[in-house]
Amino acid sequence: MTNILPVTNILDDEQHLIRARISLTQQIDRGSVVLSSPLAEAFLRVRRHPFVPVFYRREDDRYLPWRITDGDAEAWLDAVYADDSLITEVDGVHAERAGPGGVTGVPTSSSTAPSLMADMLDALDVNEGDEVYEAGAGSGYNAAMLCHLAGDQHVTTVDHSDALTTLARERLNGIGFDPLVIHGDGARDVPPDARYDRIIATASVPGVPPLWLERCRTGGILVVPIKGTLAGGMIARLTKLPDGTAVGRILHTPAAFMPLKSGTEAGVRGPQIPGRPFRDAELSGRVLDDWTFSFFAQLHMPRSLVRTYGRNADGLHVTTLYDPADGSATRIEDGPGAAALVTSTGPRDLWAPMEQAHQLWQQLNRPRREWFGIEVTPDEQTVTYAAPDGQVHRWRT
């Protein structure tokens, strides 16, 4: 018969907690991340559970808060120290403030999967004494890692949510770290005159904010998730050059981080698309669900483009693309057979560039994201790919 420890025994049993951190570190190390000694030590020493005392479990269309006191405490602790992301906020409702019946909506904050954290922290290459800026404090767990690596007096972390920054500050202080925690816009509310050796974002942006580029010291490193309307965005690892630009490569890991919030987000509703006329599509809209292609597809989309998708009354897949810049809207609707139909309104057929992008992607033998380079200036962002034949492809994103 299995002995289930009481909640107080589990959280007071240091050997039990050490085993949990060892297990997490081993899970990360068995994956695609090769942990350096400093990074392995950080995961072994920094506890995760103080930062996620309550998180959501999804059941059907609801998110239910899960506390260590809700049933099996060991199962809860195993979930905390699993290599999984943990949803902490849904539509602005933090798990700690949710009733037992839970909430419905869209996740708005989470504790990132530790292996993805490790991959990004490894790319960031933090050394003791580095001045570090983090956009997206979230639960505070990643900031705690930065404090361990650089020293807490060298870490600044920012989040748009007052509730999240308050909780992150309390929990960081609770384990002995006292970084600068700011409630504000991570893309704009950088402390005046501050300069950083390392800049990392734990929320996605469509492009590297010019202020981050400006405030990064020459030779400094930026690790930034870049994502448009499609899932499976990219993570850029950039080095600041003396001329004020930054260059680097795309990491191999797809990352669907939640967008960095500025307080100006608003839903975009496209125009009605007529039922006819239509044309045959070369591809189903479902191709955009393929993360190996969606990264490449995003390079061919304007930043303003919005994608929605779902199923029609017959249960068939429907994708809609809308560009508010010129009012163009296109629907791609699967038919009962293999064919799909495209219907557009406005000046452009928005699906044609996706069909062309897919053809190019196949001609290039489906290149992996880590084979792409990226260049960022204060005015533009360019992704490049050097094909084996020497031809260099460029996309302004």
Residue 207 confidence (pLDDT) above 80? yes
Q: Which long-range contacts (CB under 8 A, 24 or more apart) does 205-208 make?
A: 205/259, 205/260, 206/303, 206/397, 207/303, 207/376, 207/381, 207/397, 208/236, 208/238, 208/246, 208/376, 208/381
Percent of the chain scored above 70 by pLDDT?
96
Report, as an integer, the average pLDDT of 235-262.
92
Q: What is the mean pLDDT of the chain?
A: 92
Domain for residue 261, yes or no? no
pLDDT of residue 266: 53
The reply to whether 123 and 242 lie within a common domain is: yes
The structure tokens listed for 45 are 């020493």
Report, as an integer, the average pLDDT of 42-63.
95
pLDDT of residue 2: 46
Domain for residue 274, yes or no? no
pLDDT of residue 1: 40
State which residues form the domain around 162. Answer: 114-250
pLDDT of residue 7: 58
Percent of the chain scored above 90 by pLDDT?
77
Domain for residue 11, yes or no? yes
Domain for residue 322, yes or no? yes
The reply to whether 14 and 89 lie within a common domain is: yes
Domain count, the chain: 3
The reply to whether 232 and 159 lie within a common domain is: yes
Residue that finishes a domain, picked among 111, 144, 176: 111
Residue that finishes a domain, picked among 361, 377, 392: 361
pLDDT of residue 44: 96
Domain for residue 302, yes or no? yes
Domain for residue 386, yes or no? no
Whose CA is closest to 92, among 219, 265, 340? 265
CA distance 26 to 279: 52
pLDDT of residue 104: 94
Give the lowest-confidence range in 10-14, 153-157, 191-195, 367-371: 10-14
Residue that finishes a domain, picked among 74, 90, 111: 111
The reply to whether 72 and 196 lie within a common domain is: no
Residue 120 confidence (pLDDT) above 80? yes
pLDDT, tens only, 173-193: 999 999 999 999 999 999 999
The reply to whether 180 and 216 lie within a common domain is: yes
In the three-class reduction of DSSP (H, G, I as helix; E, B as strand; rest coil), residue 366 is classed as coil
- Name the helix (H) or strand (E) containing 145: helix 141-150
> What's the CATH code of the domain at 324?
3.30.160
CA distance 343 to 66: 45
pLDDT of residue 262: 63
In the three-class reduction of DSSP (H, G, I as helix; E, B as strand; rest coil), residue 396 is classed as strand
Judged on CB neighbours under 10 Å (0-12, 13-18, 19+), 264 is: exposed
Going by pLDDT thresholds of 50, 70 and 90, the confidence category of residue 32 is confident
The reply to whether 123 and 104 lie within a common domain is: no
Residue 395 confidence (pLDDT) above 60? yes
Domain for residue 147, yes or no? yes
Whose CA is closest to 319, among 231, 205, 256, 226? 231
The reply to whether 222 and 125 lie within a common domain is: yes
Going by pLDDT thresholds of 50, 70 and 90, the confidence category of residue 332 is very high
The reply to whether 189 and 303 lie within a common domain is: no
The reply to whether 244 and 297 lie within a common domain is: no
Report, as an integer, the average pLDDT of 307-325.
91
Judged on CB neighbours under 10 Å (0-12, 13-18, 19+), 300 is: middle
Partners of 221 in the β-ladder? 198, 239
Residue 328 confidence (pLDDT) above 80? yes
201 and 134 Cβ atoms separated by less than 8 Å: yes
- The DSSP string of 206-275 is SS--HHHHHHEEEEEEEEEEE--SSSSBEEEEEEE-TTS-EEEEE-SS-B-PPBPP-S------PPPPPS
> What's the CATH code of the domain at 242?
3.40.50.150
Report, as an integer, the average pLDDT of 1-7.
50
Question: How big is the CA angle at 29 (ends 26 and 30), to the nearest 5 degrees?
Answer: 85
pLDDT of residue 72: 87
The reply to whether 88 and 143 lie within a common domain is: no
- What's this model's pTM, rounded to 2 decimal places? 0.92
The reply to whether 122 and 242 lie within a common domain is: yes
Residue 159 confidence (pLDDT) above 50? yes
Going by the DSSP 8-state scheme, the letter that residue 31 receives in this structure is T
The reply to whether 232 and 169 lie within a common domain is: yes
- Residue 313's contacts (CB-CB under 8 Å, 6 or more residues apart) are none
| CB atoms near residue 254 (< 10 Å) | 18
Domain for residue 380, yes or no? no
